[in-house]
Structure 1
């Protein structure tokens, strides 16, 4: 199974979808053609998110939006690793999305997006390059569900893992969104015994 994750600190901690990491006999993080054995630090099955750890962060850690929930019709983007060859070839795919409805009371964000199954665990970034959610479920070919960033921040805090949050843009209007998403994202590969 392939998924996506993103680094949250300089100590090798990353977030991904819980279903992309749960029950693995071997779990790896792949970044820029390099493979790292990973371990699960904490899980939240209720929000379908998990914290993984490798030896050291590869790339830059993400910055969470400090405040505010996305509103309907907000443009967002994410990068995912849908296939193992894409992970090994250092190539994630950028997916544009639009928030459908507002921030739901249950901590979910519905997005209109063609993100694929391998995007599970990918960060959902706002126009400023700040993380506002994590892709967890693909409903159909045009809709995905993301867990909002508050659930991820709560899981990190409960496990004493420091993370950065800010409202200042991490991405200027002239910067490439794909490059920002690619810098913080990584492939997650799970092998399960049959």
Structure 2
């Protein structure tokens, strides 16, 4: 495989956008109101299974301004992203015409790394969800903005596992994928793809991008059943989209570019209080 190359300029430009966004009158920006959803209460404990556990970044560390990805699942302005993308943000926004547009209502899952945005930009089209994970060996297409630039990562599903963030007591259900190729080809971390959709070969969203391990070439995504539990708890999604099957990486990249042009997938920006 040809060596991939990547620079940090797009990420720097993204952080500059955050600085410009909050550099004016902060009173004009709605503060982020966060709700929590956790089905793992003592009354409704989820079953525990012995399976491989991955340790990923510590969510309880100091929050900082950052950039991720989000995608729309209901035309009234309901979006999904990763919970660690919204966690600790004082203000949160979705990009439109090169600037973040602030949102104020987010429902964060405490079961898995997924968050639902209630008041994002409206859309004429949405991405279709499913609770069913692909079979091991199936292909997935991770979409988002690593280092601030659009990219599709093709991977092969290894199977289900658990993930722990730092020293957290509880584990999150995830799917583990082995990276195969990228479009466009470039090296570097996948940071910034978090919160974007992972689509299966049948065109359904089968997870939200959560983490990656550069050394092992693994991509972790949320369990799709956990995503559906959050969506159903929010009672904010009442539409179903028709999936479009994906015929390989080039087709995935073509669909991704169309969705970028129509605003279905966007960069997301987090601003934290100093």
TM-score normalised to the size of structure 2? 0.60
8 Å Cα contact 1:129-1:180 kept in structure 2? no
Deviation at 1:48, TM superposition (A): 1.5
Change (3 A) 1:138 1:41: same
SS at match of 2:146: coil
Q: Distance in 1 between matches of 2:224 and 2:85?
A: 18
8 Å Cα contact 1:12-1:57 kept in structure 2? yes
The residue aligned with 2:48 is none
8 Å Cα contact 1:37-1:54 kept in structure 2? no
The residue aligned with 2:209 is 135
Given candidates 266, 269, 274, the residue that maps to 1:186 is: 266
State whether structure 2 residue 7 is matched by structure 1 residue 7: no
Long gaps (5+) in structure 1: 87-91
The residue aligned with 2:176 is 110
When the two chains are superposed, the root-mean-square deviation of aligned CA atoms in Å is: 2.6
Change (3 A) 1:143 1:73: same
Of residues 32-41 and 44-53 in structure 1, the stretch that sits farther from structure 2 once superposed is: 32-41
Q: Which runs of 4 or more aligned residues in structure 1 lie more than 6 Å from their structure 2 counterparts after TM superposition?
A: none
TM-score normalised to the size of structure 1? 0.82
Given candidates 123, 140, 144, the residue that maps to 1:76 is: 140
Structure ID, larger Rg: 2
Number of equivalences: 185
Q: Distance in 1 between matches of 2:243 and 2:77?
A: 23
Cα deviation 1:37-64 (Å, max 9, x = unaligned) = 1223311133011111345324621101
The residue aligned with 2:226 is 151
Q: Distance in 2 between matches of 1:107 and 1:164?
A: 25
Change (3 A) 1:58 1:10: closer
The residue aligned with 1:161 is 236
Of residues 34-43 and 128-137 in structure 1, the stretch that sits farther from structure 2 once superposed is: 34-43
Q: Distance in 1 between matches of 2:224 and 2:201?
A: 15
User: What are the equivalent positions in structure 2 for 1:48-67 lying under 5 Å apart?
Assistant: 48-58=113-123, 60-65=125-130
SS at match of 1:64: coil
Q: Distance in 1 between matches of 2:70 and 2:112?
A: 15
SS at match of 1:107: strand
